[in-house]
Amino acid sequence: MIVKKALAQITNLAVPGGDSPTNAPTQFAITVATLWQTIVIVGGLAFILYFLRGGINWIMAGGDKGKIEEARERITQGFIGLALLAASYVIVKFIESAIGMDLLNIIWPTAG
């Protein structure tokens, strides 16, 4: 609970809307969530591309052991990346519990 009190006093001019102590934690959470969501989307697309390219290379290998091994490594790298994306979700949830903010389910500010 000490962290919540400390976060309430933060002002950060580098974060949009972070110039007042009441907006800074919300703006920080929005920035972190947007950054994480972007990384997950790019990582998911990279997984799909690695997996497809590895599968196509495997099919096109024509029995060549070296090409099959290269395709297998590409598919394995894709799955390792997918596992890292899943681990990032666990890490974000741990950070949420540590700082007491809901980083992934942000209530977006509305005009009015």
9-43 pLDDT, tens digit each = 556 556 565 555 556 666 777 787 788 889 889 99
Please write the tens of the pLDDT for every residue from 67-97: 999 999 999 999 999 999 999 888 888 888 8
In a domain, 48, yes or no: yes
Q: Is residue 66 part of a domain?
A: yes
Asked if residue 3 belongs to a domain, the reply is: no
Q: How many domains does the chain have?
A: 1
Residue 95 lies in a domain: yes
Residue 56: inside a domain: yes
For residue 54, the enclosing domain spans: 40-102
pTM over 0.75: no
Give the span between the Cα atoms of 68 and 15, in whole angstroms.
48
CA distance 20 to 10: 8
Residues 25 and 9: their CA atoms lie apart, in Å, by: 9
> Does residue 82 belong to any structural domain of this protein?
yes
